[in-house]
């Protein structure tokens, strides 16, 4: 059993651009971070992971999880750190027994197949089965020494349920859709339990020191518009209304990201979140025109653009900055996670270009 690590004194933030942009307050340059910024494209990540053994052992070791969280910040002038963990910690804590098959991604030994499986599931205690995550948050917060804010995160109930019911990654989502359309009451019971679990998990991350939280709805975009509202958005909205929105005397902004959710921006923005994450399939100019000043926007360069030469990356960053236009409310990011074979130098070009080219939009 891991030991509780106490909360430490929280030094004032030296760089708060990321939080200011989410609050639409003036900034000097557009803040930037990268989804999956800690990971296998960095040789130092691979080295630390080898020390830990497998991926979950890395997540469960607060010092090593902290180390890999900080690695990208040592290389690039990123404006935020993101907790090193995974969205599948919650289903694992619910007893599904997460494991990683070499080269095949996540799998569960005990996937959900029927009502009895759903009825068995409880709400994990964030300072119990998931205390290793909170210990990582506390350790990272201590080691960041106020340099940049720390982002906490969770998967959305729908996205977590896809892994729990499919038993791992999926392409067609037939098992969960079969449950959604043939036995919707069972799926709704699961989604309710997940919404309660995510709410208490994120609130515990905030209490432990996360200064902003993000919900990853990676698979909401595989649903029809009506089904998206019924099976995904409704539950994210419930989470947003249950979150601690202020801590340490400052707002704790919430970002919702539905991959392929560009059609539903207005509905996502209406949940009460502070920011909507965009993938690259929507033009950010159009997104801003549709959303106005209701919420901030995060995104949205195609992660594959990082394979391009430096000049092309810079040009694309410039186009996206111009698309968003003048003023605060934009957090630059990739439209999804960085690919594992991207040369780290290219990520550096991306981050530097955002800072260099965005000055003109913040006068």
The pairing of beta strand 330-334 with beta strand 250-251: unpaired
Catalytic site includes residue 163: yes
Nearest approach, Cβ of 170 to ligand 1CP (angstroms)?
7
Other CB atoms within a 10 A radius of the CB of residue 10 amount to 15
- Lookup: tokens for 37: 């910024």
Q: Are 188 and 117 in contact (CB under 8 A)?
A: no
The residue among 55 and 361 lying less far from ligand 1CP, judged by its C-beta, is 55
The site for ligand 1CP (CB under 6 A) is made up of 35-40, 49, 55, 82, 84, 86-88, 105-106, 153, 169, 216, 218, 337
The catalytic residue among 18, 41, 163, 201 is 163
Rounded Cα distance between 260 and 61, Å, is: 33
Rounded Cα distance between 276 and 262, Å, is: 10
Look at residues 328, 363, 332 and name the one whose alpha carbon lies nearest to residue 76. 332
Nearest approach, Cβ of 100 to ligand 1CP (angstroms)?
7
The pairing of beta strand 105-108 with beta strand 275-277: unpaired
Catalytic site includes residue 49: yes
272 among annotated binding-site residues: no
The catalytic residue among 40, 75, 238, 250 is 40
Look at residues 238, 274, 69 and name the one whose alpha carbon lies nearest to residue 152. 69
37 among annotated binding-site residues: yes
The residue nearest ligand 1CP at its CB is: 169
The residue among 22 and 73 lying less far from ligand 1CP, judged by its C-beta, is 73
Nearest approach, Cβ of 361 to ligand 1CP (angstroms)?
26
Rounded Cα distance between 225 and 22, Å, is: 27
Q: Which residues make Cβ contacts (< 8 Å) with residue 181, sequence separation at least 6?
A: none
Catalytic site includes residue 86: yes
Look at residues 268, 296, 302, 312 and name the one whose alpha carbon lies nearest to residue 282. 302
113 among annotated binding-site residues: no
Question: Is the N-terminal amide bond of 300 cis, ω within 30° of 0?
Answer: yes
The catalytic residue among 16, 79, 86, 279 is 86
The residue among 2 and 57 lying less far from ligand 1CP, judged by its C-beta, is 57
Catalytic site includes residue 312: no
36 among annotated binding-site residues: yes
The catalytic residue among 36, 75, 238, 312 is 36
Q: What is the CB-side half-sphere exposure of residue 118 using CA atoms within 13 A?
A: 19
Nearest approach, Cβ of 126 to ligand 1CP (angstroms)?
17
336 among annotated binding-site residues: yes
Dihedral in degrees, nearest 10, Cα atoms 24, 137, 338, 40: 160
Nearest approach, Cβ of 78 to ligand 1CP (angstroms)?
10
Nearest approach, Cβ of 337 to ligand 1CP (angstroms)?
4
Catalytic site includes residue 17: no
**Would you please indicate which residues are annotated as catalytic (active-site) residues?**
36, 40, 49, 86, 163
Binding-site residue positions for substrate: 36-40, 86, 163, 218, 336
Which residues are annotated as part of the binding site?
Answer: 36-40, 86, 163, 218, 336
């Amino acid at each position: 059993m891991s030991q509780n690590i106490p909360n430490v004194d929280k030094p004032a933030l030296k760089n708060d651009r990321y939080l200011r942009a989410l609050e639409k307050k003036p900034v000097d340059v557009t803040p930037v971070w990268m989804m999956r910024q800690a990971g296998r494209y960095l040789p130092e990540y691979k080295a630390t992971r080898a020390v830990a053994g497998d991926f979950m052992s890395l997540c469960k070791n607060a010092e090593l999880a902290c180390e890999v969280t900080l690695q990208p910040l040592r290389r690039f002038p990123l404006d935020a750190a993101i907790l090193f963990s995974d969205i599948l910690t919650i289903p694992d804590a619910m007893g599904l027994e997460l494991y990683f098959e070499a080269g095949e991604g996540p799998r569960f030994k005990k996937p959900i197949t029927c009502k009895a499986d759903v009825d068995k599931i409880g709400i994990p205690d964030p300072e119990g089965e998931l205390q290793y995550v909170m210990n990582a948050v506390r350790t990272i917060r201590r080691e960041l020494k106020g340099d940049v804010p720390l982002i906490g995160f969770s998967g959305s109930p729908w996205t977590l349920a896809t892994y729990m019911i499919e038993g791992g990654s999926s392409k067609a989502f037939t098992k969960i859709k079969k449950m959604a359309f043939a036995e919707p009451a069972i799926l709704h019971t699961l989604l309710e339990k997940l919404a309660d679990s995510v709410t208490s998990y994120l609130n515990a991350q905030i209490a432990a020191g996360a200064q902003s939280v993000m919900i990853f709805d990676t698979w909401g975009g595989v649903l029809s518009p009506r089904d998206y509202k019924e099976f995904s958005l409704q539950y994210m909205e419930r989470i947003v209304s249950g979150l601690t929105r202020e801590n340490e005397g400052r707002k704790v902004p919430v970002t919702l990201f539905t991959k392929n959710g560009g059609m539903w921006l207005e509905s996502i923005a209406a949940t009460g979140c502070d920011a909507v994450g965009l993938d690259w399939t929507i033009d950010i100019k159009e997104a801003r025109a549709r959303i106005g000043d209701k919420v901030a926007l995060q995104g949205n360069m195609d992660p594959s653009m990082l394979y391009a030469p430096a000049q092309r990356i810079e040009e694309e960053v410039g186009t996206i900055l111009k698309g968003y236009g003048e003023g605060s409310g934009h957090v630059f990011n990739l439209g999804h996670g960085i690919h594992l074979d991207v040369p780290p130098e290219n990520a550096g070009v991306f981050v530097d270009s955002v800072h260099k080219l965005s000055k003109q939009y913040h006068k």
